[in-house]
Amino acid sequence: MGKGNMKHKGTQIIETKRLKLRPFSPEDSEAMFRNWASDSEVTKFLTWPVHSSIDISKQVVESWCARNNEPENYQWAIELKSIGEPVGSIAAVRIDNDTKSATIGYCIGKSWWGQEIVPEALKALISFFFDEVGLNCVNACHDANNPRSGRVMQKCGMKQEGIWRMGGKNNQGICDEVWYSILKEEYDNRKNTVGYDIWNELYERAFSVQNGRIISPFIEAGGVAAAILTKAGNIYVGVCIDTASTLGMCAERNAIANMLTNGESKINKVVAVMPDGKVGSPCGACREYMMQLDKDSGNIEILLDLDTKKTVRLKELIPDWWGYERFKNF
C-alpha cells in the first residue's frame, strides 16, 4: 500500500485546456438528456438504461446534486468550454478506503466521440486522485466488446490487469469485463520516461486550478495560477488572491505556502499561468520570496514560453542578490 494519508475532497472543479470538470447543477438536466442520456448508442455498454424522457434525467441530476457536498462523492459533469454545457459525465463509481483505490466510470455524447475528450478528463482525474486525495490506485473496466473504452484507459497510462470472464452485466447482458489500473508509483515514474515533458505537466496542473472569480466586493481570486516542482519531485499549485488592501497573495507564493505546509522547502521548477493562458515571469516580490528559501534557490528554473520551452534561472532575474552572505553560516 502506498505511503501517506488520504484526504477526501469531494467533487472539486478541475479545468484542463478544453474542459471544465465540475459538480452537476439542476440546470444540467436538459443538456444531459439531449447530449448523451437519450442516445441508445451511448448507453449500449453501460449499466443504466437510456433515458426515455427528460424527467428521468432531472431525477438523476437531482440525486447527484443532493450529494455534491459529501467529501467522498466524486461525480463530475464534463463541460466543454467551447459550448459552455456538459457533454458527458465521469465519476468515481466506487471508493475503497482500505486499499486507497477508486474505480472510474465515464460516458460522453456520440457527437464528441473521437475528439480525445474522455482521455483529457480521465488524465485530470488520475492526477487529482493521486496528488490531491492521496489514493494509491485508480482503476476502470469495460465490456470486452467495447475496445474503444479500453483505448481511453491505455492513453492515460493504465495497464490491463486481466479479463474477468462473465464478471459484469450491462445493457447487453452478462459480459466479460476487461480491467485496467494505474498505481501512484507508476504515475510518479512517468517523470522519468522518454517523451515525458515536465513543463507541460506543470502547465496543465497550474491551468487546472486557474478559475478567475469574484469572492466578495473586496477579493478576487484565481486569475493567475502557478505550479512548482520541488527537488523531491512533488508538485504543488496555487492561485492568486487579490484584495482591496495589501493582504493578497500571488499564485507562486500560494503554491509555496502549500509546499511549506506539506513539509518541503526546496524548489526545482516554477510555472505561472497568466489570465490569457500564457506563461509569465514571477513578480519582484515572488522572486525575492523564492530566493530567501534556500541558498541554491538561484538555480530555480522558470518557464518563460511553453511552446519553445524557453526558461530562465532565478539568479538571472535577481543578479547580485543581497542575501547570499546570510546563507554562508546557515
Could you report the per-residue pLDDT of 151-195, keeping only the tens digit for each?
A: 899 888 899 999 999 999 999 999 999 999 999 998 887 755 555
User: Given this model, what pLDDT does residue 37 score?
Assistant: 98
Q: Specify the higher pLDDT residue, 196 or 93.
A: 93
CATH of domain 14-191: 3.40.630.30
User: Given this model, what pLDDT does residue 262 score?
Assistant: 86
Quick one: cell of 145?
Answer: 466488446
Judged by DSSP in three states, 277 sits in coil
| CATH architecture, range 198-327 | 3-Layer(aba) Sandwich (3.40)
Judged by DSSP in three states, 295 sits in coil
User: Given this model, what pLDDT does residue 114 score?
Assistant: 83
Would you list the domain boundaries of the chain?
14-191, 198-327
Judged by DSSP in three states, 142 sits in strand
Tell me how many degrees the CA angle 57-63-69 measures, rounded to the nearest 5.
135
Average pLDDT over residues 282-304: 95
pLDDT in tens, 67-114: 999 999 999 999 999 999 999 999 999 999 999 999 999 999 999 998
Q: Please check the confidence at residue 4 and state whether its pLDDT lies above 70.
A: no
Percentages (nearest 5) of helix, strand, coil residues in the chain: 30, 30, 35
Sign of the torsion angle spanned by Cα atoms 198, 204, 207, 209: negative
Strand bridging mode 267-273 / 301-305:
parallel
Range with the largest mean pLDDT of 33-42, 199-208, 224-233, 269-278: 33-42
Strand bridging mode 235-243 / 137-143:
unpaired
Angstrom distances, CA of residue 129 to CA of 101, 292, 326: 9, 32, 41
Average pLDDT over residues 110-125: 92
Average pLDDT over residues 268-294: 94
